[in-house]
Structure 1
Amino acid sequence: MPNDPLADWKQQQRAMWASFMPMAWFTLPVAAHLVRFADIRAGEAVLDVGTGTGVVALTAARAGARVTALDLTPELLVQARENAAIAGHEDVVWTEGDAEQLPYPDATFDVVLSQFGHMFAPRPAVVVAEMRRVLKPQGRIAFATWPPEHMVGRMFAFIGRHAPPLPEGAAPPPQWGHPATIAERLGGGFTPPFFARGAMALPALSIPHYRLFLEQTIGPMQKIVAKLASTPEQLQHFRTEFEAMAADYFVDNHVHQDYLLTRAAAL
């Protein structure tokens, strides 16, 4: 996007998510749920936006789709290519790029997917317009997002209270977890959306283990911990507050992270 006022902020995000690879492993069941929910069929042209390490892209490829996948962070795409080689799906096309400026012609794909990816693009109207643009007539969109009232949505709100404010014009990612907001954003470009829900169970030996894992894999969490490292009392307060919030979701050595699935057809 020429003269993008958020270009510098996006570069920061690009670097921030390079440590996400270990967390991606735990999203494998969600990827399977999303691909099944989207009704991916053999031979369909599928785009995975915000592919990360490629878990959705490769799940769709196993279903017989012809898959293209895009992510902003090159380190994640290195792992995605390694995963593709192991899985025997080296025909997946991997692209480093911006969800707000998809480098594909109009009406290219039968399905556009995103698992917790497009929701981090700062301008919802822009990313929706781009995903709609690259869809064929009657093509489908399907994505997974984090509802704001559950663990991960609450975590991002918590992080937001300790982080610098978002740049002007950027929307908080958990807004993508509101069905009413999703319906409004898809607007006249899509049929009324259909929703489903699920829960991602992340194994943890204790809440401090869970918190430490997030500090090692979730870029925004890492930045806050690094910023507070010089003030141990504030860092301890941050960690204590986070662990108290996470305790509501810790059952049987798992942290339950509820997610929302959305599906709609292009008009």
Structure 2
Amino acid sequence: MAPDPFAELKKRQREMWVTFTPVAMFTTPVAGQLVKFAGIRAGEAVLDVGTGTGVVAITAARAGARVSALDLTPELLLQAHQNAQIAQHTDIVWTEGDAEQLPYPDASFDVVLSQFGHIFAPRPEVAIAEMRRVLKPGGRVAFATWPPEHLVGRMFAFIARNSPPLPAGVAPPPQWGNPAIVSERLGARFEAPFFARGTMGFPALSVAHYRLFMEQSVGPMQKLVESLANEPEKLAQLRAEYETLVAPYHLDNVMQQDYLLTRARAC
């Protein structure tokens, strides 16, 4: 097997997302929507790619599916395992691994899910090819992603503008929230996708509360703030710009984070 050209990037990603656990609680309702949207049925073999703390995997297991789940970050998998024990779904198979190199045989699963996880794989075409490879004929893929024109997509664009450039060939994660791009990426491997939208409510007393939580829990934002620790004026300016960006989405003590749901059947 040829060396992975993005091995160093993935190493940084693995370390960057260690602090994600507090955010996962707020994605739990989205997991319920995703599993329902995917039409998970009892007895189906389901793979959750980029499982994080396991909220989608555990939700699918509660629906009666036989679940495997994969993530790059071992610390998150440990939390997922603990969450599964509390939820009394200890039969989920947790695996440390890469969305671009899924460690499963061909045609292993009825459904492949991903909630805000596979979008960080550097090469979308490789991630989609792997999802299709492990799906049975007629199997389904379903995922939740962040549209580029809404809060989280704009936040990632803001981080990218203020951070060192990613290696050549790496696709920006918010592209996965553009239905036209998603349709093109699914291409000939899947039937025409079906889309739906939802909103993830994130409680916050103020925009400053939300910003602070992001700085403490979302890896890319955390790293950006850390990079300016010795430049207080630049850091203050960055924080002010960020608060201006997200302020329109703060309504009734809730940050409105729109997301896109995609479902498609394998050809």
SS across alignment from 1:67: strand
What residue number does 2:71 align with? 71
What residue number does 2:105 align with? 105
1:50-129 to structure 2, matched below 5 A, reads 50-129=50-129
Q: Gaps (5+ residues) in structure 2? A: none
SS across alignment from 1:264: strand
1:214 and 2:225 are equivalent in the alignment: no
SS across alignment from 2:168: coil
Q: Equivalents in 2 of 1:261, 1:2: separation in Å? A: 34
What residue number does 1:133 align with? 133
The one-letter code of the counterpart of 1:172 is: P
Q: Equivalents in 2 of 1:130, 1:166: separation in Å? A: 23
- Note the aligned Cα RMSD (angstroms): 0.6
Aligned sequence identity (%) = 71
The one-letter code of the counterpart of 2:140 is: R
Report the Cα offset of residue 2 of structure 1: 3.5
Report the Cα offset of residue 18 of structure 1: 0.4
1:1-267 to structure 2, matched below 5 A, reads 2-267=2-267
Q: Equivalents in 1 of 2:6, 2:108: separation in Å? A: 27
The one-letter code of the counterpart of 2:54 is: G
Q: Equivalents in 2 of 1:119, 1:55: separation in Å? A: 17
What is the aligned length?
267
Q: Equivalents in 2 of 1:227, 1:49: separation in Å? A: 30
Cα deviation per residue 1:180-214 (whole Å; 9 max; x = unaligned)?
00000000000000000000000001110000000
The runs of at least 4 consecutive aligned structure 1 residues that moved more than 4 Å come to none
Q: Equivalents in 2 of 1:190, 1:166: separation in Å? A: 29
TM-score, length-normalised on structure 2?
0.99
Cα deviation per residue 1:30-54 (whole Å; 9 max; x = unaligned)?
0000000000000000000000000
Q: Equivalents in 1 of 2:132, 2:165: separation in Å? A: 29
Report the Cα offset of residue 168 of structure 1: 1.1
Cα deviation per residue 1:73-97 (whole Å; 9 max; x = unaligned)?
0000000000000000000000000
SS across alignment from 1:20: helix
